[in-house]
Structure 1
């Protein structure tokens, strides 16, 4: 794959070993895949399949027990904590299900704070925050505080904060999980628009129906990649209407 922005090779993550019985739990087992620039990918699996651990490892929030994680061509294992923080600030944007907005700050300030660890000066942070808010259709709410926003607007702010650093990849963790179906659909439409404009997006979800409408789907089960498919699945065929007098079994 050309222009790879994220690559995992034989990644494992093992927890435990320090308990009295010495038991360990392998949450990720030999995970390998690559994501190219401009892709829109759903990582889908049931609760307990290893999706959250995979998100943390892809986002360099946790180090793998073994294997290789490359972000923007850089092997994260070779970096110390400070270098890893810089890589994360420069190359990765996060969108979490819980929004994690600072309630005391304005919308613009919340988005601009996404650049704090990138070392950008205050004027640049504010200017780039305004651009990101325009991307998600919230320029008119820049001076509002999160408490005055709807759930969908809060998620848009979180997406703008993830985009403001112009990262190589955006990791979205269940971005519609706390939203009603209509608002969730609008957030998915926004993610598609941003992807069409060039953003590389990986979305973590347990919703197989939602994942089925994505251009690429990576299925995870018991810490392993069990499928990797491209092309949106067709919508289920609606039931055929019964004609008058037709018998049912």
Structure 2
């Protein structure tokens, strides 16, 4: 089943073309790296895939829905239910507990509070942090914070998890543990797309889409 499809996608900012006819699809259960140097269009591609920005042209489908046909309310609901985000800055609420931070990932999906917390505990179990549920973020390490962010992205069982430089703020050993967790979660069935400038990290993933100057220049997942 295809969970994400881009067909001839462009994105312009005034006279600047950030994306130039990008086309690829991702099937359920894939683990994909989108790799390229700074300025290649990775961040714009992340925003378009995550429905944070609408494309200037072409078609973006998430879970079979053409995002261009959705109004802002429907698009926000689609994003809340179908897409999980992981960023290198973590973006955790320091005053809230780990459980509350993870449960907040379901705030906009219409899930009742009791169910949010039950699912949060399950997600924390998946990332190995069940014993830190009542801690606040200032009482856990950077690697554990990223695990909390990953649990928050997974809590609603989204179709896709978009991970933007998920090891960027971590030391090499902690980064390696996060990469191992990403592989483990993918083996359990999660569809994960990782955006990175690091060719070494991208090389650890089974499929690599390389972008340059707003175009896809190679894709190891393309069938000849």
TM-score (norm 2): 0.98
Aligned residue number for residue 151 of structure 2: 160
Aligned residue number for residue 10 of structure 2: 12
1:38 aligns with 2:36: no
Displacement after TM superposition at 1:212 (Å): 1.0
Displacement after TM superposition at 1:213 (Å): 1.5
Cα displacement string for residues 132-183 of structure 1 (whole angstroms, at most 9, x for unaligned residues): 0000000000000001111100000000000001000000000000000000
> Which runs of 5 or more residues in structure 2 are unaligned?
none
Aligned residue number for residue 202 of structure 1: 193
Displacement after TM superposition at 1:230 (Å): 4.4
Aligned residue number for residue 161 of structure 2: 170
Cα displacement string for residues 25-84 of structure 1 (whole angstroms, at most 9, x for unaligned residues): 000000000000000000000000000000000000000000000000000000000000
The correspondence for 1:130, drawn from 93, 113, 121, is 121
Question: What is the correspondence of 1:183-198 to structure 2 with a 5 Å cutoff?
Answer: 183-198=174-189
Aligned length in residues: 222
- Higher RCO (CA-CA < 8 Å; seq separation 6+): 2
> Which runs of 5 or more residues in structure 1 are unaligned?
17-23, 232-249
- Structure with greater Cα Rg: 1
Runs of 4+ aligned structure 1 residues displaced above 4 Å come to none
Question: What is the CA RMSD across the aligned residues, in angstroms?
Answer: 0.9
What secondary structure, in the 3-state scheme, does the structure 1 residue paired with 2:96 have? coil
Equivalents in 2 of 1:151, 1:77: separation in Å? 37
